[in-house]
Chain A
Amino acid sequence: MNIFIPLLLGIVVGYLLRNRIRASMDKPMSAALLFLIFFMGVEAGRVEIDALKLFVSSLIFASFTILGSLFVALLGVRR
């Protein structure tokens, strides 16, 4: 299923029921998230992974995206 379908469906439902939904979405979101991450771990556990390579790749991606964002903001944004 395309990911846009549940997202757009959710936005429409949320917008239509915006005055009726008083409860915060935090708890259902957290519960769904924890299950999802567990299942993701199960999928990942079945694949052979080089832990060091994974750590280095994650660190490089995180650092480069942060530095890239800072660079563009400093260069391109004027108040």
Chain B
Amino acid sequence: MSFLYLVISSLLLGILAGKYTTLDFGNLYEFMLYLLIFIIGIDIGKSKGLREELKKLGKLSLLLPASTVVGSLAGGFLASLLLKVPLKWGLAISAGFGWYSLTGPLLATYSPMYGVIGFLANLTREILTIIFYPLAIKKVPKEKAIVMGGATTMDTTLPLMAKFGGTEITLLAFVHGFVLTAIAPFLIPLILQLL
């Protein structure tokens, strides 16, 4: 949670610097983005044993992320219609699956405005999951409620899932988040380039 405060502070500090100063950081923004994507790539590449864990979990480990992808894009589609946001941006925002630190900067390379909406919408998804997952599992099967967290179920919301859903769904939540984490960096640029 403390890292979340740092993230929000960085954003606010940046907005203040952009609004009230004439500081010019040149291409540092793009450089940091590519560096972050590269590090994320290394992290995915060096992960071990995922195939074995997937076998243990069975088809649910693929069906749940697939539901999250389809459901998030459908939700993004409806939100675009409601807010009159161009479909391309609406789908790209929703394809972040809660991964605000990727979605915001990625969209901001094309449009600073949609970058901020992408960042905040996905941050809000994480916050809403933290608030509502414990309530949702009173009505919804706890393994299906994992989809609320999107990609965050492999890190930030994982302790919450483990605490309220039980240790038996922890691995499923991790794999769900992992699969979405692998999909999002490809899906967002794909949507932006195709639509």
B-binding residues in A (CB < 8 A): 1-4, 6-18, 21, 25, 28-30, 32-47, 49, 54-55, 57-74, 76-77, 79
Q: Is B44 an interface residue (CB 8 A)?
A: yes
> Can you name 30 A-B residue pairings with CB atoms under 8 Å?
A1-B30, A3-B37, A4-B189, A6-B38, A7-B40, A9-B38, A10-B39, A17-B42, A18-B46, A29-B36, A34-B10, A36-B32, A36-B36, A36-B105, A37-B105, A40-B104, A41-B12, A42-B14, A42-B15, A43-B115, A45-B16, A45-B17, A54-B117, A61-B124, A64-B94, A65-B75, A65-B94, A68-B94, A72-B70, A77-B63
Number of interface residues of B (CB under 8 A): 89
- In the complex the two chains form, is B148's CB within 8 Å of A70's CB? yes
* Contact pattern, B 59-99, Cβ under 8 Å of A = 1, otherwise 0: 01001100110111111101100110100001001100110
Does B116 have its Cβ within 8 Å of any Cβ on chain A?
yes
Residues from chain B with Cβ under 8 Å of A41 in the complex: 10-18
Set of chain A residues within 8 Å of B67, measured between Cβ atoms: 69, 72-73, 76-77
Asked if B15 contacts A36 (CB within 8 A), the reply is no
Identity of the chain A residue whose Cβ is nearest the Cβ of B35 in the assembled complex: A32
Say yes or no: A73 contacts B68, CB within 8 Å. yes
Q: In the complex, what distance in Å separates the CA atom of A14 from the CA atom of B140?
A: 38
Tell me whether A28 and B129 are in contact (CB under 8 A): no
A17 to B, closest residue via Cβ? B46
Q: What is the minimal beta-carbon distance from A15 to any residue of chain B, in angstroms?
A: 4
**Bound form: Cα–Cα A65–B150 in Å:** 9
Tell whether, in the assembled complex, residue A44 and residue B15 are in contact, meaning their CB atoms are under 8 Å apart: yes
Residues of A within 8 A of B71 (CB): 65, 67-73
**Residue from A14, A17, A60 in contact with B79 in the complex, judged by beta carbons closer than 8 Å:** A60
